[in-house]
Amino acid sequence: MHPRQAGQHRRRLRAPLSLAAACLAVLLLAGGCGYRLRGTGGFLPPHVKVISVPMFKNLTTRFEVDVKLTQSVINELVNRGRVEVTSDESRAQAVLTGEILSFVALPMAFSGQATADRYNIVVTASVALRDTVQNRVIFSNPAYQYVEEYEVPQGSDFEAMETEAVGKVAEKFARSLVIAILEGF
């Protein structure tokens, strides 16, 4: 390669690198100006340190789904450690309420004995987190939906595995909901 061509080649390579460095500098400066990616910071106001979670209302015919979902949401909030959870609403700066609108198990796949061995479970709930200090809604979703596939072990039927299925789905529902509330996703 001719020395003149080599110099032009190096300049062409430096231009994209300079542009990348400038973009990186802008991003770093913007980070100091209060900008942040959605989901990287807290969705809760800083004054919310204690949340009350009363029992979700069960508008379905599924037995104890309210108990399992409520307890799973409380456990998930406690495990994340960002807020304290209390049953005393007067101590809380926010109250998380929920109504379970539906819990549906739809067969998706069948075994050789013509029994369903995989289900699509859909949980729909109306959920709201209300700031009791500023008297405003922090988070609200009137039709929060969680979908999970559940596989029934061979030789079992869903009715026999229902309690276990509800428990597993409740844990994953709670994780998904708490992430949506705390992280803003």
Neighbouring residues of 129: CB distance < 8 A, sequence distance ≥ 6: 51, 94, 95, 96, 137, 138, 139, 140, 181
- Chain segment 47-73, per-residue pLDDT in tens: 999 999 999 999 999 889 999 999 999
Structure-block tokens of residue 18? 């300079």
- Chain segment 85-127, per-residue pLDDT in tens: 999 999 999 999 999 999 998 888 887 777 777 888 999 999 9
Structure-block tokens of residue 168? 């597993």
| CA pair distance 125, 70, nearest whole angstrom | 11
**Which amino acid is present at 2?**
H
- Chain segment 7-21, per-residue pLDDT in tens: 555 555 454 444 444
